[in-house]
Structure 1
Amino acid sequence: MEFIYKEEDLSNIVKQLIEKSNSKTLAFYAPMGAGKTTLIKAFIKELGSKDNVSSPTFGLVNEYALENGELLAYHFDFYRLEDEVEAMDMGIDDYLTSDSWIFMEWPEKIPNLIPKDVQEITIEILDESTRRLKLS
């Protein structure tokens, strides 16, 4: 599945991605500034959370909940990791075995730890405001 989109199209695209995805674990592959966090923000909103979404670059993981307090998703940013041992030390296995949505930015930093059922999303920058997204 492939989309060419602008930011104002995200709500519609995310609805389709949620419908078509065969996993709640999503790995986002894209260069810096491509809109990974913006896309994840649209996912969180569409899934029903009102939480403020930001990149967890320094904390490595953010949690998002529904209004009733139920955990909705974990959002990882592995950009600053030096190696997979750091992910293991933070307890990545416990997160990945939860029933929550999992959003992973920079999953290429932990290639041996990514679950087999992951849904890959690749974002390519076409121009300043246009992106190509591929779901595989």
Structure 2
Amino acid sequence: MTNSPTPDQPRVIATDAALAFLAEIREDHPDILFHQSGGCCDGSTPMCYPASEYRVGETDVKLGEIGGVPFYISGSQYAVWAHTQLIIDVVPGRGGMFSLDNGRERRFLTRSRLFDGGEACPLPLARG
């Protein structure tokens, strides 16, 4: 079954476990943001930073918000992932070295699913 196109289709969502972990991190760091890693080894790692310590780039795309926290991806990564919905989850392990999930014995992980049929609507490249 193909879903009808909708401009409200979320590009990024989170599991209940990820939302609970995010709330835990926000107790220590209330103003944060996510940026989807594009590194060769950590391509499935969404990095979580204090908002005041991360500069959103001119070509970064804001995919949406999870738990009230903005979620960005680089323009080049967005071009590759444009037909997918990102699903932020939590797994055991260490977070990225500079990510706020590091040292908590759990880390965020990006899973994805392809949009089907015309379900996704274009998202322009735009800051914040």
Fold shared, TM-score > 0.5 on shorter chain: no
Structure whose residues are more often helix by fraction: 1
Structure whose residues are more often strand by fraction: 2
TM-score normalized by structure 1? 0.26
